[in-house]
Copies of this chain bind each other. A is one copy, B any other.
Amino acid sequence: MRINRQWLVASRPVGLIKESDFAWQEARVPDLARDQVLTRVVHVSLDPANRGWLYEQDTYIPAVALGEVMRGLAIGVVEESRDDTLHPGDLVQGMLGWQQYAVLPASALTRLPDLPGLPLTAHFGLLGHIGLTAYFGLLDIGRPKAGETLVVTGAAGAVGSLAGQIGKIVGCRVVGIAGTEEKCQWIKNTLGFDAAINYKTDPLIEALAACCPDGIDIDFENVGGKTLDAILSLINLRARIVLCGLISQYNATTPVPGPMNFVNLLIKRARVEGFIVVDYFHRSGEAVAELAKWFKEGKIQYRVEVVDGLENAPKVINRLFDGSHMGKLIVRVSEEPSL
C-alpha cells in the first residue's frame, strides 16, 4: 500500500494565500482502474493563475472545490499504467496537483517532448505552458514588427522574461518593468532588454516616456493596475495590449476598477486582447521547436527557482505575489529521474 501526501483546499483564501487555507493529508493511493495511470510527481509549477483557481467562481476552468487536492500543473514519472500508450518510466505533464502521487486517466496526461540536453525543469522554465504563453502571446496576439517598441510588465517573471527575449529576437525595442534592482539588472544585462524600469523606485510614467521615445506599440501585460495605466498613457496608434495576466489584482478583496486610461484604446484605435495558453496547446510543437532552437543558439535564456518539498507549496506560492522570485517558480516534490 502506497501512501500519498497531499494538500487539500481547506478554505478560500481572502487576500494572500495562507497555509491554513490548505490541509495536509495522508491518504492511500487507490488501485488503478482501466485506462488509468499512476504518476509520481516530480516538479509542481507554481503560477499566478493558481490564485484564480481558488476563487469561489469559476474562471477559465472550474474553481477547485473545497476538500479537493489543490490543482497544479506538474511533471511526473509514470510508475504504473493500465493504459496502452503510457508505460512506467515515461515522463509526463498534466494537472497532477499538489500531491506526491496522482492517479489520472491517461488522456489527462501529455508525454513530455524528448529534448536531449535540456534539464527536466526546462519544460517549465523555457517550454511547456510558460514558453507557449510567451511565444503565442507575443507573436499571435501582439503581432510585433521589427522596430516597434514592446513593453513587458512582470518582466523578470517566468513568462515576461521569455516574452521580452522573443521581442528582441523579432527586432523590437524591448523595455521591461520589474520590482527590484536585481531583476532590472538581470533582464537588461543578462537577457538583453534595451531598458529596465523599477516600478517601485522609478517615476513610472516619466521613466516609461524616457525609455520609449517613440511611444509604445505593444504591451505584454502581466500586471495591470497603475503599471497598465501608465503604459496606456503612452500607447501609439493601433497599439496591442497582450493581456496575459493581471497579477496586481489577484489577491484583491474588493472589486478592482479597470485602467483610468481605458479611453485611450478608443483614441488610439488600440486593442486589448486576453488569451490563455490552454487555447494553444494544440500548436505546442511549433513553439517548442522554435524555443529549443533559440535556446541552443544562445538567443534565449531562462531561469528557474526550485524550492524543495511539497510541504512548502502554500508558503512559497506567495513569492509570486511579493516580488521575491525571479524566473520560474517550481516546487520539487520528489527526485528527478536520470534523463
Report A202-230 residues with CB < 8 Å from chain B CB.
224
Q: Report if A117 contacts B (CB, 8 A).
A: no
Check A269 against B279 for contact (C-beta < 8 Å): yes
Is A266 a contact partner of B274 (Cβ separation < 8 A)?
yes
Once bound together, how far apart are the Cα atoms of A261 and B249, in whole Å?
12
Among B243, B268, B269, point to the contact of A266 (Cβ < 8 A).
B243
Cβ distance A177 to chain B, nearest Cβ, rounded Å: 18
State which residues 233-261 of A face B: CB under 8 Å: 243-246, 249, 255-261
Given contacts A258-B257, A260-B258, contact A274 B265 (CB under 8 A): yes
Indicate how many identical chains form the complex: 2
Please indicate the chain B residues that have their CB under 8 angstroms from the CB of A266 in the complex. 243-246, 274-276
User: A265 is contacted by which of B243, B255, B257, B263 (Cβ under 8 Å)?
Assistant: B243
Q: Which of the listed residues A244, A246, A255, A271 has the most CB atoms from chain B within 10 Å of its own CB?
A: A271
Closest to A249 in B: B263
CA distance A256 to B256 in the complex (A): 13
Contact of A262 among B258, B267, B273 (CB under 8 A): B258
- 9 extra A-B contacts, CB within 8 A, seeds A259-B262, A269-B274: A52-B267, A60-B268, A246-B266, A249-B263, A256-B263, A265-B273, A266-B276, A268-B274, A271-B274
- The list of the 4 closest CB pairs from A to B, nearest first, reads A258-B258, A257-B257, A258-B262, A266-B274
